[in-house]
Structure formats: structure tokens, C-alpha cells
């Protein structure tokens, strides 16, 4: 078995830049989401289709990003 249909794209979610990676292994699609800066993976999901995997990962990512607070720096 191999990883197939590997895709990677940049997107924005709740004002944060994210990196969305998805690929298929066997009959399952996997999706992982990193914040672009610093590049930490913080959400992942799998599904029967790429769309299903991405939607589930994005839903988690949205929830997690809502908890990130911004503080004034000056």
C-alpha cells in the first residue's frame, strides 16, 4: 500500500493561516491541519472521501483555534 493523491494547500481559518494536507491510504482519506506559523499540527481526521476527511478536520481546527487568545503587545 502507498500514500496516493497527496495534496497540500494554504488556507485561512478564523484569521489564522493554516496548511491543509490530505492523502489516501487504501480506501481511507486522511487530512491533517497545521498552523502555518509555527507549523504545528493541531487537527486531523479521516473519512471515506477527501471532502469528508477535510470537513471533519476543519471542524476540529475551527474549534481549537477559537480557544487561541491574542494579547496586546504594545
Partner 1 sequence: MTDVLSGADVLVGTDWAAQHRADPNVRVVEVDVDTAAYDQGHVPGAIGWNWTTELCDTLVRDIVPKAKLEKLLGASGITPDTTIVLYGDNNNWFAAWAFWQLKVYGHRDVRIMDGGRKKWLAEGRELETTKPSMKTTTYAAKEPDLSIRAFLPEVQRALGRPNTAMVDVRSPQEFTGEILAPPGLPETCQRGGHIPGAKSIPWGKACNDDGTFKSRDELAALYGGQGVTSDKDVIAYCRIGERSSHTWFVLKYLLGYPNVKNYDGSWTEWGNLVGAPVER
Interface ranges with partner 1 (CB under 8 A): 1-4, 6, 8, 16, 21, 23, 25, 30, 32-35, 37-44, 46, 61, 64-65, 67-73
Cell of 38: 509555527
CA–CA distance, 65 with 9 (Å, rounded to integer): 18
CA 13 from chain centre, in angstroms, equals: 10
Quote the least distance from Cβ 34 to partner 1, whole Å: 7
Closer residue to partner 1 (CB): 21 or 56: 21
Q: How many residues does the chain have?
A: 74
Closer residue to partner 1 (CB): 32 or 54: 32
Amino acid at each position: 500500500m502507498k500514500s496516493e493523491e497527496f495534496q497540500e494547500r494554504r488556507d485561512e481559518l478564523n484569521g489564522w493561516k493554516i496548511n491543509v494536507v490530505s492523502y489516501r491510504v487504501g480506501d481511507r482519506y486522511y487530512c491533517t491541519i497545521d498552523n502555518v506559523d509555527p507549523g504545528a499540527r493541531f487537527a486531523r481526521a479521516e473519512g471515506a472521501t477527501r471532502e469528508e476527511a477535510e470537513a471533519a478536520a476543519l471542524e476540529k481546527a475551527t474549534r481549537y483555534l477559537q480557544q487561541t487568545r491574542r494579547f496586546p503587545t504594545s
